[in-house]
A and B are shown apart, each in its own frame.
Chain A
Amino acid sequence: MDRRTIFAITILVLIFAVIIVYEWTGAWTGVKVTMAENKVITAQLLQEHKIPVHMFLVFTIIDYVKHSWLCLLLAFIAAGALQEFAPRDKVIKLMGSGRGFTPYAVAGLGGPLLSMCSCSIIPLFGGLYKRGAGLGPAITFLLAAPAFNPAAILLTLGLLGWKFAVARAMVAVTAGILVGYTTDRIFKNRLPEPEPVRIDTEADGGSQEDQGFGKRLVNMALYSWEFVKMVLPLIFLGVICAGLVKAFLPPSVIIKYLGNGILPVMLSSAIGVFMYTPTLVEIPLVRGFLESGMGTGAAMAFLLTGPALSLPSILGVCKIVKPRVPAVYATLMWICGTIAGLVFWFFVPRF
């Protein structure tokens, strides 16, 4: 973690803390009625059965493991298989050389083939842009890849249900393509052409094709294991955060700021744009919020903008292109998140 990430997290924690302190005193007294109305099980459990807070964390973890272990297992296998078998060089070439709509479609749908590590997305973005693939497809890839990959979708399926999983996949690709295309149009002929990069390489990107199938299966298992080591601690962190949210944030606060309605959706979309959410952590976190009264629209908005954008990623992109570009696509993405949230809320009003 570099200094910028820590900075962003600190600011968000502070904002969070201020809201909590502000609402804490009056919140629990007025909350009982709203809770009963909204059928918030967690807070009722806390009050009726007097479960101590540490047990609450344990229950949350057990509950999440129960819902997600199968999906997680499949996700890890899928991630390993993609790392070993996906023709990544071909996908990148297709993204860079096609004309018209093709690069956008490849960038939107090809994310799962390319991104195994969330921090490798910005170099890929830079490479696509500087090698003349065009700004649009590069942005599409940057925005769609974190949400549209097998691991994210499987985990969403396990923890949030199929409606969220399907909607999320569709929305991520659509919004990525729309925002990428629009930003490309806006900056057409306004940015200096990047100098093409010459490369001198004898490298192979993927795996060794000459190996036997059995050997490649072993490689796949190794990659899966690598992925487990990388992602599992982060998901665990997300689950703990979700437990803390359920235990300490009074539902009335969540209903007020992130409940149903246009303003909560806009707010949640904006939080997603700035907040740094490591891959897959957003899913347990959103489940925690949903159980405490977050609206489905706000949840969808956050699921779209949260992993796609963050302050650190925007600052990273600023090093490659002019700051105007991330400012434009972040704004567009915020609008997309709000619209997606409202549409989803219309179709799925309850979690």
Chain B
Amino acid sequence: MKIEIFGPGCHRCGEVEKGVKSVLSELNIVADVEKVKEINKIVDAGIMQTPGLRINGKIKCYGRIPKAEEIKKWISGEK
């Protein structure tokens, strides 16, 4: 599974990364987590409001910090 977190690297993007990592360890899933900080890549992915979260090429949310249950739902939905 490929999980990408989009954001230029502020506090809020860090929160998303923390959330994703804790869900992954809770569900015991190994995934490829990547932080995308390059502005052009963020824009090309179609994310205008950071932080954004993309799992297996599908944008799951943007412009807010998702809750742990949501992340859990998305990750187990993609498995």
Residues of A that sit less than 8 Å from B by CB: 2, 83, 88, 92, 114, 117-120, 122-124, 126-128, 130-131, 197-207, 226, 229-230, 316, 319-320
Contacts and interface: CB of A to CB of B under 8 A. Distances in A.
B47 interface: yes
Going nearest first, the 9 A-B pairs with the smallest beta carbon separation are A199-B46, A127-B48, A126-B43, A119-B10, A201-B59, A203-B59, A120-B50, A205-B63, A123-B42
B79 to A, nearest CB: 17
B10 A123 contact: no
A229 B65 CA distance: 14
Contacts of A205: 49, 61-64
Nearest to B15: A226
Contacts of B8: 119-120, 122-123, 316
Contacts, number: 97
Nearest to A317: B39
6 contacts: A119-B8, A120-B50, A123-B39, A124-B49, A126-B39, A207-B64
Contacts of A2: 9
Contacts of A122: 8, 39
Interface string B40-56: 10111111111110000
Given A119-B8, A119-B10, A320-B39, A92 B48 contact: yes
A117 B39 contact: no
B64 A206 contact: yes
Contacts of B10: 117-120
Interface in B1-35: 6-12, 15
Interface residues on B, range: 20 to 34
Contacts of B7: 119-120, 123
Contact of B62 (A198, A203, A207, A316): A203
Contact of A123 (B15, B47, B60): B47
Nearest to A229: B11
Given A122-B8, A128-B48, A197 B43 contact: yes
B43 A130 contact: yes
Contact of B65 (A123, A127, A128, A226): A226
B14 to A, nearest CB: 11
Contact of B48 (A124, A206, A226, A230): A124
B4 to A, nearest CB: 13
Contacts of A123: 6-8, 39, 42-43, 47-50
Contacts of A201: 46, 58-59
A125 to B, nearest CB: 9
* Residue of A120, A127, A202, A320 with most chain B CB atoms under a 10 A cut-off: A120
Contacts of A92: 48-49
Contacts of B49: 88, 92, 114, 120, 123-124, 205
